[in-house]
Amino acid sequence: MLWDVFCQVIDNFGDIGVCWRLSCDLGSRGHDVRLWVDDASALAWMAPSSTSQPGVSVHAWADATRPETVPEPGDVVIEAFGCNPPEAFVARMQRPAPPRWVNLEYLSAESYVERSHGLASPVWSGPGQGLVKRFFYPGFTPRTGGLLREPGLLARQSAFASQPSARREWLAAHGITPRADERLISLFCYGSAPVPALLEQLTESEQPVRVLLTPGHATRLARDWLQARSGVHLGSLALSELPALPQTEFDTLLWCCDLNLVRGEDSAVRALWAGRPHVWQIYEQDDGVHADKLEAFMARWMAGWPTCVREPVAAWWRAWNRLGTEADSALPPLPDWQSGQSPWALASVAARQELAAQDDLATQLKQFVASSG
């Protein structure tokens, strides 16, 4: 089948990150995908091989806005995150057998997702009058659309983990040579993250710790903290700055680390599949609804965890997101994360196994469009 995936880049590149992963996943399964995007610049570092990705081609959004350049729509049109495909393209969807039109929504663990997944939304006016779009909600239960997980992902990670040399070689290729018994943390965050408090805490660690800083806010906040300390000894802590990583390399970064601090939807899902202790910084919204979204996410992800594990981890997640009673105080101590046999690590692996038992998003999406007619 031919899929048209429409994506508008809002900020932070999370939208195009999800759309690119979905497009590649479908392409790897033998489908043809046209990714229509209004700003493809992030693909230069996120997917440097984007021009040669099997089955996937990238197109300028503007070319879908002019009647003279709009191609015949494919079999399926994916409207990512309610971005509204251009009217000229929608007008061409008017044919005896129109394409299946799917609104791919943002990921949430809230209860409304199960109620809304699969609902039809008839179009009553405009160039799409008479067409029907259907809502597809990613999620964490069998009554949702699942999570992006390309075929063989967990097997590749398992193979990587079984070869200690693979980890050493990947780190060395990025200029990182860990000290003996050093534990690694990846840091990918928004500008509001309490990075200075985290780094101060890590200087007191009994075991050597190295924080791998992604470009942007993580690196800037760490540099500001270092400058404010004006040469004060870092104790057990070391910092390493990373370049912008392609998505596949970012996945490997998560596999290499003992604790992953991530932000946004795409990275949150990849941290889940990494099966390591992780902390998610949710995108902050002015009306405060992100707090409820975070609570729903934690309740779902940590549902089967022992109370003695769930409560301190959830408290740290809230503090990292500046929510709850910890919002105006120092970060609480990190729960034990430094061993693969720690309760947090074991609970993360168990939660991943439960999610992996469900069909992945691309598999469910194919079934969804086949059954929706």
pLDDT for position 360: 98
Please, what is the average pLDDT of the chain? Answer: 94
How many C-beta atoms lie closer than 10 Å to residue 113's C-beta?
A: 22
Mean pLDDT value of segment 361-370: 96
Picking from 116, 100, 83, the residue whose alpha carbon sits closest to that of residue 16 is 83
Mean pLDDT value of segment 136-156: 96
State yes or no: pLDDT of 151 exceeds 50: yes
State yes or no: pLDDT of 347 exceeds 90: yes
pTM of the predicted model over 0.85: yes
How does residue 219 score in pLDDT terms, banded at 50, 70 and 90? Answer: very high
> Which residues, listed in sequence order, are joined to residue 66 by a DSSP beta bridge?
none
Distance, in Å, from the CA atom of 139 to the CA atom of 144, rounded to the nearest integer, reads 5
Picking from 165, 259, 248, the residue whose alpha carbon sits closest to that of residue 212 is 259
The 3-state DSSP class for residue 319 equals helix
Distance, in Å, from the CA atom of 349 to the CA atom of 261, rounded to the nearest integer, reads 16
15 is catalytic: yes
* Domains, the chain, with CATH or none: 2-147+359-372 (3.40.50), 153-356 (3.40.50.2000)
Distance, in Å, from the CA atom of 216 to the CA atom of 209, rounded to the nearest integer, reads 21
Residue type, 209: V
Catalytic residue among 265, 266, 326, 360: 265
Tokens standing for residue 112: 């409304």
Catalytic residue among 4, 15, 38, 251: 15
Residue bearing tokens 């109620």: 115
Mean pLDDT value of segment 318-337: 81
Which run of H or E residues covers position 240? strand 237-241
Distance, in Å, from the CA atom of 254 to the CA atom of 258, rounded to the nearest integer, reads 8
The 3-state DSSP class for residue 281 equals strand
Distance, in Å, from the CA atom of 122 to the CA atom of 130, rounded to the nearest integer, reads 7
Distance, in Å, from the CA atom of 199 to the CA atom of 256, rounded to the nearest integer, reads 20
State yes or no: pLDDT of 153 exceeds 70: yes
Mean pLDDT value of segment 50-54: 87
The 3-state DSSP class for residue 262 equals strand
Distance, in Å, from the CA atom of 167 to the CA atom of 241, rounded to the nearest integer, reads 17
State yes or no: pLDDT of 336 exceeds 60: yes
Q: Which residues 6+ apart lie within 8 Å of 134 measured at CB?
A: 100, 101, 102, 103, 118, 119, 120, 121, 368, 372
pLDDT for position 89: 98
By the 8 A CB rule, do 138 and 148 touch?
Answer: yes
Mean pLDDT value of segment 301-328: 88
State yes or no: pLDDT of 299 exceeds 80: yes
State yes or no: pLDDT of 231 exceeds 50: yes
State yes or no: pLDDT of 123 exceeds 50: yes
Q: Which residues 6+ apart lie within 8 Å of 192 measured at CB?
A: 281, 284, 322
State yes or no: pLDDT of 256 exceeds 50: yes
How does residue 327 score in pLDDT terms, banded at 50, 70 and 90? Answer: very low
